[in-house]
Amino acid sequence: MSTATAINLSVTEAAAAEVKKFIANEGISEGAGLRVRVVPGGCSGFSYSLNIEEESQTGDNIIEVNGLRVFVDPLSGQYLNGVEIDYVNSVMGSGFTFSNPNATGSCGCGSSFSV
């Protein structure tokens, strides 16, 4: 396990199922997980990044939620505490959404935020 400071990050069952389906369809190894990052950019200052990775990196928080391994680096962790990741499928489109209680503002498209 990681020695990084623990964070409270949740992934809904719908989001976890979508990631696990992608991992299975791509034939990625059992130890793989979802890397959740916060990167500079977007119209509000920061944006979210999701990637599938084969294994965690040194210093990562490793969170097991709804049968999914989630990797969070220490820098991103400070912005992701309390965040909920969901997957929505509607007539307007489908994709991952982020509910961030730490955000002080966001852009109209919901893909970036400020703190």
Residue 32 lies in a domain: yes
Residue 95 lies in a domain: yes
Residue 108 lies in a domain: no
Number of domains in the chain: 1
Residue 43 lies in a domain: yes
Residue 4 lies in a domain: no
Helix (H) or strand (E) holding 21: helix 13-26
Ranges assigned E (strand) in the chain:
10-11, 33-40, 46-53, 61-65, 68-72, 84-90, 93-99, 105-106, 112-114
Query: Domain range spanning residue 23?
Result: 10-103
Residue 43 has pLDDT above 60, yes or no: yes
Residue 110 lies in a domain: no
Integer-rounded Cα radius of gyration of the chain: 14
Within 10 Å of residue 80's Cβ, how many Cβ atoms? 24
Within 10 Å of residue 5's Cβ, how many Cβ atoms? 10
Residue 17 lies in a domain: yes
Quote the pLDDT of residue 1.
Answer: 46
- Bridge partners of residue 94, in order along the sequence: 89
CATH of the domain at 47: 2.60.300.12
17-39 pLDDT, tens digit each: 999 999 988 888 878 999 999 98
49-103 pLDDT, tens digit each: 999 999 999 999 999 999 999 999 999 998 899 999 999 988 878 889 888 887 7
Residue 113 lies in a domain: no
